[in-house]
Amino acid sequence: MEILEFVLIVLGCVIVSSVLGKLVRRVALPLVQILVGFLAALVAPAVVEAQVPSDLFLVLFIAPLLFNEARKTNRRLLWENKGAIASLAIGLVLATVLVVGVVLNLIAPPISLAAALACAAALAPTDAAAVSAMGAQVSLKPRQATLLSGESLINDASGVVAFQFAIAAAVTGTFSAIDAGEDFLVLFFGGIAVGAALGLVALGSMRLLRHFGYEDTIIHVLYEVFTPFVVYLLAEHFEVSGILAVVAAGLVMAERPKRLVSASAAKRQLVSDNFWRIIVFLINGIIFVMLGMQLPLAMMPGVAELYTVPRLLLIVLAVTLLMMACRFLWIAAMELAHRFGQRRDSARPTRGMCLKDALVMTLAGPKGAVTLSIIFTIPLVASGNTAFPARGLIIFLTAGVVLATLLAANFLLPLLAPKPRQSTQEELDQASAKVLEATLTELQHRLEEGEPAEYVPALRLTVARYQTRLVRQREDNGACGKQLAELSQKCLELQQQRADELQGAKGNQLTVAQSVPYYAALRNIRASVGYVGSAVNVGARFHNLHGIVRLLWRRTQPVEVTDEKSAQVYYDACLFAIALEHTAIDYLRSVAAQQGDLSRAAEILLDSHEAALDSLWGRINYGQEVPQSTQDLKLEDMMGPHDVLPEGVRVGFKDQVAMARRYADAVDSNALIVELDAIRHLEEAGDVTEGVARQLRQRVYALQGALELAEE
């Protein structure tokens, strides 16, 4: 298979699995990615035979993954727990390599002892980040989270080094403990030294650039992203461990700016974190999809001739249970020793708690992307230019163990460490609705109580958008959500019927060319009051190809109010939109007069349409106090084009549009500040928890960041 075809298939699988992962929230995304990769291999068997060179795999996948883990690490916590982390990352790794490697060689003789040790070394590193991708809700204690994070950082490096030694022995057929020990010391400490030095150089270079005024965020992030590749390649050039060098450089460069130190530093950190999040997501997705593509190896002749599928599954299960047993016993002994070192008080954990914590940490250390990255680097040939023995079998067994540990973490870990109830999505949605209600109330108060006239057009649009956000949030809440969706759809149907009646009335029948400007303006107006998707097109639809094409072409041009003629078009479109809003309001009032859930949903939706009506009415009566009455304006007689605007109506559309654009960013920014105040007040009143308030603020910060980017 061509490399381009392979890359396109893998990336396509990553995208598909991401969409499916959103639909199946209780299943870990890595599991979905594995399933999609497996199905892709069944559809296109050639992908199983595609190979990525070992050295390239290390550089492209392992180096950036480890660098990102290192740069996110809290160095203070890492140092405070250095003993326990070293025990897990080095001691447990060596124990796992010896025990699992020897047993694997005994139960699967086609795998040589050196190759079995290499397989065990690849399986030794944990992927604590995989737990965060779990669809189920999991909550870890601070000590557990710190140990898992530090362990996954260091044992990746120790596992890779052990794997490289074992593979070298498997390829050459020779092994010397003394030579291996010397090489290990050179690789280990040399890699750390080179990585730390290069990390200091990279960090100093970035600081020097900022000192001379080069604050460009894009250059800073690109500089940071390319660092692990450069560090790895230079370390390998000096014949030391590139993996350890990348980890050391990441720890040195783990620089977190102090709070409120500067806007530019905060922006750099935000862009950097988001960029790395995308890179890591893509790398993890590619690796897990490739894992799924390797599962059909069990059916291929080279593997199927060695063992039957049931025998293979039994070996996978045996290796998984053996690894978990080793890990549990090691962590249990470590936690009990930690317990005896604490003071005898009420806060001291019991033996039962220690054993439970050990079980949680055992399950919370599944194998993941790093293990797969390592195992895919097994060379194709050994000494004598012969095929590496049982390579397909080793990859299949490794993939099976990774899958088994992910399944155990996904389904068993939430039973042992469930997330507290107050952090549920339902409570977050309810709190979000409360915040939007409070924000909307304040904005409407400002609109009614003397907001400066120049801000009114922009504020009307902001109020309409907040009203729409509130309705959508209530639809997502589950409370009246189904009823709201049904009523919204019914309102759109009634509005379209009303539009057909008005457009077919005597004197309002226009040609396609005449209708296009009005339809374009109507779409713009409905979008401005919060309609989205197909709802924008209600009342502005052609049923013939000529009209559709003309309208599509017109939509490529902005709707501008620049002269009297365009003002007349905009005015008529506003009247038309008002008529449609009255249709929805009349229907919702009739439903609200009844009783039951549908009545409550109608009252909620009624607020949204009344806000849209207020916005529209304010546009055609800007600066005047004209009562809202369809009877007075005789809408049925005013749907067609007007040569002259009605007397007594002060429109000023051109000025309104100009002011709405001029002050839109300022008004939206102020509305987000009001939203933050609403969150603070609700938190102080005890209506939302601290954790929920933090998540709500993060949403507002994201909106503020998007607004800032839009301004640029």
pLDDT tens per residue, range 491-549: 999 999 988 888 776 556 678 888 888 888 888 888 888 887 888 888 888 878 888 88
Q: Give me the sign of the Cα torsion angle 229, 231, 237, 239.
A: negative
Instruction: Say what the pLDDT of residue 99 is.
Output: 93
Fill in the amino acid letter for 340.
F
pLDDT-based confidence at 638, cuts 50/70/90?
Answer: very low
* Minimum mean pLDDT range among 48-62, 63-77, 385-399: 48-62
Q: What is the DSSP string of 683-701?
A: HHTTSS-HHHHHHHHHHHH
For residues 656 and 560, what is the distance between their CA atoms, to the nearest angstrom? Answer: 11
Beta partners for 381? 387
Does residue 98 surpass a pLDDT of 70?
Answer: yes
Higher pLDDT, 625 or 48: 48
Write the pLDDT tens digit of every residue in 228-264: 999 999 998 888 888 888 888 988 887 665 555 566 6
Q: What are phi and psi of 629, to 5 degrees?
A: -150, 115
Owner of token pair 């909620």: 604
- Once rounded to an integer, what is the mean pLDDT over residues 692-710? 80
Instruction: Say what the pLDDT of residue 411 is.
Output: 81
Core vs surface per residue 286-302: b (16+ CB within 10 A) or e? bbbbbbbbbbbbbeeee
Higher pLDDT, 258 or 551: 551
Q: With 0-12 CB in 10 A as exposed, 13-18 as middle and 19+ as buried, what is 452?
A: exposed
For the chain, give the mean pLDDT: 79
Reduce the secondary structure of 338-354 to three states and give it as a string: HHHCCCCCCCCCCHHHH
The percent of residues above 70 in pLDDT, for the chain, comes to 82
Does residue 634 surpass a pLDDT of 50?
Answer: no
- Could you tell me the two tokens for 309? 């599928």
- Could you tell me the two tokens for 102? 């020897």
For residues 397 and 371, what is the distance between their CA atoms, to the nearest angstrom? Answer: 12
Beta partners for 206? none
The percent of residues above 90 in pLDDT, for the chain, comes to 10
Higher pLDDT, 316 or 141: 316
**Structural contact between residues 511 and 542, judged by C-beta atoms closer than 8 angstroms:** no
Write the pLDDT tens digit of every residue in 175-229: 666 666 677 778 778 888 999 999 999 888 888 877 776 767 778 888 888 899 9
* Minimum mean pLDDT range among 10-14, 156-160, 334-338, 502-506: 502-506
Beta partners for 418? 138
In the CATH hierarchy, which top-level class contains the domain 3-130+139-419?
A: mainly alpha
For residues 573 and 567, what is the distance between their CA atoms, to the nearest angstrom? Answer: 10
Instruction: Say what the pLDDT of residue 188 is.
Output: 78
Question: Residue 337: CB partners within 8 Å, gap ≥ 6?
Answer: none
- Once rounded to an integer, what is the mean pLDDT over residues 91-98? 90
- Once rounded to an integer, what is the mean pLDDT over residues 679-688? 86
**Structural contact between residues 519 and 616, judged by C-beta atoms closer than 8 angstroms:** no
Instruction: Say what the pLDDT of residue 25 is.
Output: 63
pLDDT-based confidence at 346, cuts 50/70/90?
Answer: low
Instruction: Say what the pLDDT of residue 106 is.
Output: 92
For residues 211 and 24, what is the distance between their CA atoms, to the nearest angstrom? Answer: 48
Report how far apart, in Å, the C-alpha atoms of 650 and of each of 443, 505, 583, 644, 655 are: 25, 27, 25, 12, 11
**In 3-state terms, what secondary structure has residue 6?**
helix
Compute the residue count for the chain: 712
Of the spans 303-317, 367-381, 674-688, which averages the highest pLDDT? 674-688
Beta partners for 387? 381
Instruction: Say what the pLDDT of residue 163 is.
Output: 86
Of the spans 315-329, 528-542, 604-618, which averages the highest pLDDT? 315-329
- Once rounded to an integer, what is the mean pLDDT over residues 2-6? 76
Instruction: Say what the pLDDT of residue 651 is.
Output: 52
For residues 128 and 73, what is the distance between their CA atoms, to the nearest angstrom? Answer: 13
Write the pLDDT tens digit of every residue in 557-578: 777 777 777 777 888 888 888 8
Model pTM greater than 0.85? no
Instruction: Say what the pLDDT of residue 553 is.
Output: 82
Query: What residue spans define the domains of the chain?
Result: 3-130+139-419, 425-711
Q: Of 401, 697, 641, 381, whose CA–CA distance to 513 is shortest? A: 641
- Once rounded to an integer, what is the mean pLDDT over residues 631-635? 44
Owner of token pair 């790395």: 276
